[in-house]
A and B are shown apart, each in its own frame.
Chain A
Amino acid sequence: MVETDSDEIWVRQAKAGDLSAFEALVSRHEGRVYSLAQRMLRQEQDAEDVVQQTFLSALEHLAGFREESSFATWLARIATHAALKIIRRRQSRDATATVSLEQNTEPQPGYDTIPHPEYIADWRQSPHKLLEQKELRQTIEGALETLDEKHRLVFLLRDVEGLSVRDTAQTLGLSEANVKVRLLRARLQLREKLTTAFGDPARRLVGGHTHEAGAAAVS
């Protein structure tokens, strides 16, 4: 990808002391880092703090960035840790919070309680067409906001930032089995909400059955 290529070049130039290369990196990645922070924290001021901390930390540790991952991934990790610090601070401040981030609250391993898909239909438009329509942003981001924090964070790290299951587990202090269950629930819950919004009613299928007749026909 062209973007990754020029990231590498800019990183090299910035390491060599080129401020304009560093500024180019910041300009390219600031929106993505800010979006991640907003999605994790749902609070503008905290999200701004995370963005500032992330780039100050990147500036400070640039020489130590060994380029084993992409620059974007490296930034996402720094931002995630900064955001988690805020989330933990909120939790300890909130006396009514009885469930911490790490607490194992899933019925383990718990696949028997996975919600069954209700609204099953092809979407009326492709994801990229949907993203072009600014007025849909509230629907899309709103669906994410309705997830519990424990589901939302796993989805953001694993599916949006592309961390492995193991890295997601390590970052959040969870077991890998727990990450997998939370991820499945997050994906299914989001699918349900988005399909209700974007599914084509004319092509809605009947769900909730085992469909063994269909499966048997080909086996």
Chain B
Amino acid sequence: MKCEELLAMLNEYVDGTVDPAICQDFERHLAGCNPCQVVVDNIRHTITLYKDGQPYELPAEFRRRLHTTLRQRWLETHAS
């Protein structure tokens, strides 16, 4: 396997859905190719960075309005 071929299958590898037969080739290439190892590692970190980050906070004024609206709607729909 060449680096380019590995690159084309990167999604499947990162997602753990590579065909087991091909997976061995993949692992063998990775074991001997430092740049590919680092690229795979970088991509995993990239995904974690966005998945685990919660970058935006509700503006306080909007949050107040939101909770008031929801409470009113709740009381309307749970009136009976």
Tell whether A160 pairs with B50 under 8 Å between CB atoms, given A19-B71, A127-B45, A187-B43: yes
B73 / chain A contacts, CB cutoff of 8 Å: 56, 59
**Cα A140 to Cα B55 with chains together (Å):** 9
Enumerate chain A residues within 8 angstroms of B10, measured Cβ to Cβ.
Answer: 184, 187-188
Size of interface on A: residues with Cβ below 8 Å to B: 66
At the interface, yes or no: B66 with Cβ under 8 Å from chain A? yes
A120–B3 touching, CB < 8 Å = no
Question: Interface majority SS on B: helix, strand, loop or mixed?
Answer: helix
**Whole-angstrom CA separation of A215 from B36 in the bound complex:** 10
The 6 A-B residue pairs with the shortest CB-CB distance, nearest first, are A218-B32, A127-B48, A111-B8, A127-B49, A35-B56, A38-B56
Residues of B within 8 A of A (CB): 1-4, 7-8, 10-11, 14, 28-29, 31-36, 38-39, 41-43, 45-59, 62-63, 66-67, 69-71, 73-75, 77-78
B41 near A206: Cβ-Cβ < 8 Å: no
Whether, in the assembled complex, A9 has its beta carbon less than 8 Å from a beta carbon of chain B, the answer is no
* A59 adjacent to B45 (CB under 8 Å): no
Can you list 20 pairs linking A and B with CB atoms under 8 Å apart? A17-B78, A22-B70, A23-B67, A35-B55, A44-B59, A48-B58, A59-B74, A114-B7, A120-B38, A120-B39, A122-B38, A123-B45, A159-B47, A160-B50, A160-B51, A191-B39, A205-B35, A207-B39, A211-B35, A217-B32
| Distance in Å: Cβ of A105 to nearest Cβ of chain B | 19
Task: Write the nearest CB–CB distance from B8 to chain A, whole angstroms.
Answer: 4
Total of A-B residue pairs, C-beta within 8 Å: 158
In the bound assembly, the distance between CA atoms of A140 and B29 in angstroms comes to 31
Cα-based distance from A212 to B32 in the complex (angstroms) = 9
A81 contacts chain B at the CB level, 8 A cutoff: no
Pair A120/B46 contact, Cβ less than 8 Å: no
Q: Report the minimum CB–CB distance from A12 to chain B (whole Å).
A: 16
**B19, chain A: closest CB distance, angstroms:** 15
